[in-house]
Amino acid sequence: MKPRLQTSLGQQLVLTPQLRQAIHLLQLSAVEIEQELAAAVESNPLLDWAEPGDRGDAGEPSPASDEATAADSVAADAVVDEGWGGRDEGWSGTGVQGGDDNPAERVAEPETLHDHLLWQLHLSHLSPRDRLIGVALVDAIDDDGYLREPLESIAQALLPEVQATAEEIQAVLHQVQRMDPPGVGARDLGECLALQLALLDDATPGKALALRIAGGLMERLQKAGVEALATELRCPPAAVEEALALLRTLDPRPGGGIGAIAAEAYVTPDCTIWRQHGVWRVALAGQGTRLTIHRGYEAMIGAATGADAAYLRGHLQEARWLLRNLQARGETLLRVVECLVRQQSGFLEFGDQALRPLTLREVAAELDLHESTISRAVSRKYVRTPRGTLPLRAFFASGIDTGGGGEASSTAIQSMIRRLIAAEDPRKPLSDASLARTLEGNGVPVARRTVAKYREAMNIPSSQDRRRFV
C-alpha cells in the first residue's frame, strides 16, 4: 500500500501542566494545601514564606484586595452582630483555632472509663494478686460500663501468671462494682440497675419493687406491659408506675458519661461565614499563610549563565504558576461558598429543617462552571458557621415534591422525622405509617417505605424497638 499524507481538522482537550496543577490544588483540603505548600517551598528555592506585610509576585492579590480581605477577616474573627455571641476564640495564620504554642492552651487528652477505674483500683486495699484480677476485669469492661466477658474467659486470660477460680474472680468483681460510676461492672441491664438501687436509702419510695423488677422482670415488662406486670407481682398498677419512675432516674449506660468527649479528628475550615448587620458574609480562612518569590534568588537570574540561569528561570516559572493557581483556587472556592450562602441562607438561620434541595448542577449553572469543578471545590472542604464547622457537602440535598408544588430536601425531612420521634410518647412510639401521615398533614407527602429508609439512615430503631416502659 502506497503511503500518503492526509490532513484532518478536529478538537482535542489537552491538559497542560498548569491546568493539571490547578485541578490538583482545587480538590485538596486545607490541611493538604499546607502540606503541598511546605513541600513546594522545600523543593523550589524561588519560593519562600511571606513575612507579614510582604507583597508577593505576579498572580497574588493586589494591595486593595488584600486590605479588603484583611477587613473581612477582622470582622469575621470579631464576630460582629449576630455571630458567635462574643466567644473568645483565637485563630492562627492557617485558620486553625487556638494554637499549640502555649502549653496551657493545649487540649488535655480525655480520661477514659478504663483510666478512671484503674485509678480507683490502684487506690484500693486489694492484695497484689487480687489487683491483677481487677486489672483483667477492668480491661474486659466495655465503654458503656458492662462486663460482657464470662468469668471463665477472664480466668483463661490471667494464665499463666495468675490461676484464679470463678469464685475468686467473682469476689474481686464485687469490689469493682463498688467503684464509681455506680452500676459499672454489671453483666446485664438488670444487674446494672440493681447496683444503683442498692446505693439508695431503703426508705426511697418504690425501691423494693424496683429491685424485684430489675432482678428478672425487665424482659417481661417490655412484652407484657404495666397491667400484666402488676398482676404478676400482685400489687396495684400505681405501685408499679412508682417503681418504674424510680428506674427511669437511673443510668443504663454508667460508663457513657466518662470519656464521652472522644479524641476526634480536627478539621481546618477553608472559609468562614458570619452575619454582619443582617447580611451573610464570606471570607477565606487562613489568609495569614502566603507564599512569595524569593527576591534574592530572583536577582541572581540576571547574573547567572548557562545551566544555572536555566535552572533558576525554570523554578521561577513554576513558582509563578503555583501562586496563580493558588489565587485561582481561592477565588473559585469563595465564589462557590458565596453561592451556597445565597441558596441556603434559611439553613444557616433555622437549621436542617430549612435546608432546600440543591444539586451540584444548579450551582455550576449559576456560576457558569463545570459540574466537576464544583465537585472538586466542595470535596473535603469545611466552612466555619454560626452553627459550627460544617462540610460544604452539607449544603447539598436531594429533593422530594411537596403537595403545594414545591420541594423539600431529604435532610429537612429527616430533621422532621427526628423531631417527631424525639417528642413521641416512649410507651406509644410512632410507627412509620403514623410518621408518614403526620408529614403528609404538614404538606410533605412521603411514602411509609421512604420514612423507613430515612429512619434507618439515621440509625433510629423501629417503633417496636423504641417502645419503653422504663
The closest of 399, 427, 406, 389 to 272, measured between CA atoms, is 389
111: left (phi over 0), alpha (psi -120 to 50) or beta: beta
> Among the CATH numbers 3.30.70.260, 3.40.50.970, 1.10.10.60, 1.25.40.10, which is that of 398-466?
1.10.10.60
Q: For residue range 11-52, what is the model confidence (pLDDT) as tens digits? A: 665 567 888 888 889 988 888 888 899 999 999 888 888 765
Pairwise CA distance, residues 269 & 288, whole Å: 14
pLDDT at 16: 78
For residues 435-439, average pLDDT: 86
Q: Which three cell numbers stand for residue 247?
A: 428506674
Mean model confidence pLDDT for the chain: 79
Distance CA 232, CA 468 (A): 19
Question: How far is the C-alpha of 26 from the C-alpha of 77, rounded, in Å?
Answer: 25
pLDDT band at residue 63, thresholds of 50, 70 and 90? very low
64: pLDDT strictly greater than 60 = no
Longest alpha-carbon distance in the chain: 110
Per-residue cell: 242: 412508682
> Helix 371-378 crosses helix 360-367 at what angle (to 10 degrees)?
110
- What confidence tens digit (pLDDT) does each residue in 143-181 have? 889 998 899 999 988 888 888 898 999 999 999 999 988
- pLDDT > 80? residue 57: no
| C-beta neighbour count of 247 within 10 angstroms | 22
- C-alpha of 388 from chain center: 10
Name the residue with higher pLDDT: 81 or 190: 190
User: What pLDDT was estimated at residue 327?
Assistant: 92
Residues in the chain: 470
What pairing do the DSSP bridges indicate for beta strands 382-385 and 271-276?
A: parallel
- What residue spans of 182-236 are helical by DSSP H? 189-197, 207-214, 218-224, 226-233
Q: For the whole model, what pTM was predicted?
A: 0.54
Please report the pLDDT score of residue 48 as a whole number. 86
Tally of CB atoms within 10 A around 305: 7
Higher pLDDT, 267 or 43: 43
Backbone angles phi, psi at 356, to 5 degrees: -90, 155
Q: pLDDT at position 86, please?
A: 34
Q: What is the pLDDT of residue 403?
A: 55
DSSP class of residue 48?
E
DSSP code per residue over 234-279: TS-HHHHHHHHHHHHTS-S-TTTTSS-S--PPP---SEEEEEETTE
Written in H, E and C, the secondary structure of 289-339 is: CCEEECHHHHHHCCCCCHHHHHHHHHHHHHHHHHHHHHHHHHHHHHHHHHH
Report the share of the chain in percent with pLDDT over 70. 79
Cell 474573627 belongs to which residue? 77
Read off the pLDDT of residues 351-386 as tens digits, 9 standing for 90 and up: 877 888 888 999 999 999 998 899 889 988 999 999
- Compute the Cα dihedral for 56, 62, 68, 72 and give only its sign: negative
pLDDT band at 437 (very low <50, low <70, confident <90, very high): confident
| pLDDT for res 105 | 34
In the Cβ-directed half-sphere of 315, how many Cα atoms lie within 13 Å?
Answer: 22
d(CA 55, CA 61): 9
For 418, the enclosing helix (H) or strand (E) is helix 410-422
**In this model, does residue 238 exceed pLDDT 80?**
yes
Flag whether pLDDT at 222 surpasses 80.
no
Dist. CA 112–CA 257, nearest whole Å: 10
pLDDT per position as a tens digit, 299-350: 888 777 788 888 888 889 999 999 999 999 999 999 999 999 999 998 888 8
Phi and psi angles of residue 139, each rounded to the nearest 5 degrees, phi first: -65, -30
99 pLDDT above the threshold of 50: no
- Domain residue spans in the chain? 17-73+270-393, 113-248, 398-466
Closest CA to 274 of 385, 392, 389, 395: 385
The larger pLDDT score, comparing residue 334 to residue 240, is at: 334
